[in-house]
Structure 1
Amino acid sequence: MKQLHNATFRTLKVIGGSKTLGDVSLSRCNYVGSTVAQFDDPGYGLTVRNVEARRCKVDNSGTHGVRFQNVLVEDLTVAGGLLLEACIFERVTLRGNIGRVVTTPPNDSLAEEVRASLVDAMRVAYPRTTHFCLAGLWAWGVQADGRKARISLPGFCFVDNCAG
């Protein structure tokens, strides 16, 4: 696993395509104005996998349509919020002090058929990826009819003793 310490990424953009990012351990890294996103692949080919991030900072950054697999985030400082739109989380652990993170369904500016295909893919993924819980953390999710709803995501490790 590659290791990065004290790196700063400004306006890093990874947009579209079937790419896998990961196999990296990050320590005290900073992300400013950075984006990892895809807007038209209901197969969620853009994947962040096998990542450990400890004591990192994000500022005005976000993701859209990304599949996160085997990710550990510990003590994350967030300035301006971290927006995770239309993402799928599989075996994601949040531990320690975590700044403001907001999860939402697909972006409202997308064409309705694209939004629907991403929502359908999310619905298929979540029944089989229940190894996540946000002990007491609230997030925005999608109801069965596609409307946004404030929900609690049980299982998304937000504490040190998460089982799963």
Structure 2
Amino acid sequence: MRQQIGGETFTRLRQYGSGRVFEGLDLDRVKFDSCILAQHDDPGLGLVVRDVTISRSSAANCSVHGVRFEDVTVDGLSLAKLHQLSGCVFKHVTLKGRIGPLMTTPVNYGMEERLQAEFNAAIESYYRDVDWALDISEAEFSDADFYMVPGHLVRRNPETQFLLHRDVVDKTQGVELPVYAGIAVSRFELTPFDSLVAIAPRRSKNFAQYLEDLEYLRRAGLAE
């Protein structure tokens, strides 16, 4: 049976550690403040959020690490500042509506090297069996960077969301790129994947510049 939660505020909620599954939830107008959903010791990614919808909600000062998100839909998420989804993986996750600044990043660099390597290997392996990871085609971001998700597994709006392949790095050696185009290309230094999606966030005050810079790559045959 699904659980409906509406209009509640969760402050300093801590869900820490692997071997947990949160599923069958519909959250509407929920606020998360200074909450943690994380695990740092299980490369098997046993901390799972599955079959969950979130609508018209917000988060502030929250931390997310090492979570497996599957069959999740987020429709409208206000974020007080940039939130990082670190060491997380995604399968059939849809982001739409107005979404605050959001970024996927590698696992915590403070972890021991062996554990980092095990996490990274598990993340790469996970995506080999995923038909699509993220659908961001209807999202209106204020800022967004999902370089830690394989770009070819992202459903996107090609008007503002550009698919880049790793060979763009060699093709632009010695070329002075526009600022946001250069940032997008540089993300291949951080990701293990051979493709990524670069985003011109519609709700950013710099949207026009983002779009112009990324269109430069497309005109040059360096992005799709």
Q: TM-score range by the shorter chain?
A: 0.7 to 0.9
- 2:67 is matched with 66
- 1:140 is matched with 147
Q: Equivalent residue of 1:107, what SS?
A: coil
Alignment of 1:108-119 (within 5 A): 108-119=109-120
Distance 1:139 1:5 in 2: 29
Identity of aligned residues (%): 31
Ranges in structure 2 where 5+ consecutive residues have no aligned partner: 151-165, 167-187, 199-224
Decide whether the 8 Å contact of 1:65 with 1:85 is kept in 2. yes
Decide whether the 8 Å contact of 1:59 with 1:81 is kept in 2. no
1:24 and 2:25 equivalent?
Answer: yes
Distance 1:18 1:108 in 2: 22
More strand by share: 1
- 1:130 is matched with 131
Larger CA deviation: 28-37 vs 132-141: 132-141
1:58-101 deviation per Cα after TM superposition (whole angstroms, max 9, x unaligned): 00112100000110000111112221000010110001111111
Decide whether the 8 Å contact of 1:81 with 1:101 is kept in 2. yes
Q: Indicate the structure whose relative CO is greater, using CA pairs within 8 Å and at least 6 residues apart.
A: 1
Decide whether the 8 Å contact of 1:132 with 1:153 is kept in 2. no
Distance 1:153 1:10 in 2: 33
More helix by share: 2
1:152 Cα deviation (Å)?
Answer: 2.9
TM-score (norm 1): 0.85
TM-score (norm 2): 0.63
Q: Equivalent residue of 1:141, what SS?
A: coil
Distance 1:141 1:66 in 2: 13
Distance 1:5 1:20 in 2: 20
Distance 2:48 2:42 in 1: 11
Q: How many residues align?
A: 153
Query: After TM superposition, what 4+ stretches of structure 1 lie above 2 angstroms from structure 2?
Result: 132-144, 149-154
1:148 Cα deviation (Å)?
Answer: 1.2
1:133-152 deviation per Cα after TM superposition (whole angstroms, max 9, x unaligned): 445953232899x9514963
Task: Look up the equivalent residue of 1:139 and give its one-letter code.
Answer: F
For the aligned residue pairs, the C-alpha RMSD in angstroms reads: 2.4
Decide whether the 8 Å contact of 1:43 with 1:121 is kept in 2. yes
Distance 1:100 1:73 in 2: 14
